[in-house]
């Protein structure tokens, strides 16, 4: 069956951090899934001109960015380099929600596409406004809280920093960069992998909705990657 890491809440993973076989299985499944999606995106190589400013081109480029960031995150966790992986998480969320805005079929989408090609930044708050209009205020609040939690890793808050330290004698702090990663807390890796699993699930949902991969191709990638042929549940708001 599929790794239990898929769909697991980070707190549950934090409380059960020593399930190394399940974590190793998740890494294998995640790599295979993302590689399958990457291969499907490769068929668009040489399909777009440098000067094209179409939605299809933007979607392809952003989808590639998503997959690359997630593959890099998997590799970083495998190497116990969680600090960099956590910083990538917010990038993944921002890219997903930019795709959602671009495919919203609203005036905002046309404006956002134009701004993107003009090398302007589309604030994440715009995507939350889009969610509030289409899914309600509660969904927007959940998204905001989720984004804030991920942002703490980027802005290096105290609690986010503590995930890089273990305790020595008399509760004195020891940075986990010592001893070639052996001091990395298993709770940090376990909970981080659970968040990564959820981001991968959200990404596949995003790609099914926006393309350029067809929904049946996404489903087939899941079938190839995991042993249990069902798409895992997710814990986080989409």
Are 231 and 219 in contact by the 8 Å Cβ rule? The answer is yes
Domain that holds residue 44: 10-101+150-225
H-type helices in 48-185, by residue range? 55-78, 82-102, 107-117, 124-135, 137-155, 158-162
User: Model confidence over 119-171: pLDDT tens digits?
Assistant: 988 776 666 666 666 666 676 566 666 656 655 555 566 676 666 666 777 77
Q: Looking at the domain assignment, is residue 110 inside a domain?
A: no
Q: Indicate whether 117 belongs to any domain.
A: no
User: Strand 173-175 vs strand 165-167: parallel, antiparallel, or unpaired?
Assistant: antiparallel
Residue 114 maps to a domain = no
- Convert the pLDDT of each residue in 85-120 to its tens digit: 988 988 898 898 889 889 987 778 888 899 999 998
pLDDT at 238: 43
Does residue 3 belong to any structural domain of this protein? no
Structural domain count, the chain: 1
Average pLDDT, the chain: 82
Percent of the chain clearing pLDDT 70 (strictly above)? 74
Q: What's the whole-number mean pLDDT along residues 41-69?
A: 94
pLDDT bin (cut points 50, 70, 90) of residue 213 is: very high
- Which residues 6+ apart lie within 8 Å of 125 measured at CB? none
Residue 122 is assigned to a structural domain of this protein: no
Q: Is residue 185 part of a domain?
A: yes
Report if residue 210 sits inside a domain: yes
State the alpha helices, DSSP H only, in 166-214: 186-210
């Amino acid at each position: 069956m599929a790794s239990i890491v898929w769909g697991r809440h980070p707190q549950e993973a934090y409380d059960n951090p020593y399930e190394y076989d399940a974590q190793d299985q998740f890494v294998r499944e995640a790599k295979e899934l993302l590689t399958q999606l990457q291969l499907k995106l490769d068929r668009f190589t040489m399909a777009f001109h440098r000067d094209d400013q179409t939605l299809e081109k933007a979607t392809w480029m952003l989808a590639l960015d998503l997959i690359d960031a997630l593959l890099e995150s998997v590799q970083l966790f495998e190497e116990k380099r969680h600090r960099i992986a956590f910083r990538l998480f917010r990038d993944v969320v921002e890219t997903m929600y930019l795709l959602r805005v671009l495919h919203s079929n609203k005036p905002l989408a046309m404006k956002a596409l134009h701004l993107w090609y003009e090398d302007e930044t589309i604030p994440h708050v715009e995507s939350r406004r889009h969610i509030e209009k289409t899914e309600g205020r509660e969904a927007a609040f959940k998204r905001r809280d989720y984004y804030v939690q991920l942002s703490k890793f980027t802005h290096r808050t105290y609690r986010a920093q503590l995930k890089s330290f273990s305790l020595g004698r008399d509760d004195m702090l020891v940075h986990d960069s010592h001893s070639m990663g052996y001091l990395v807390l298993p709770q940090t890796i376990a909970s981080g992998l659970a968040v990564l699993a959820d981001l991968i699930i959200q990404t596949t949902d995003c790609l099914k909705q926006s393309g350029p991969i067809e929904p049946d191709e996404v489903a087939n990638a899941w079938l190839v990657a995991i042993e249990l042929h069902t798409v895992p549940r997710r814990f986080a708001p989409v």
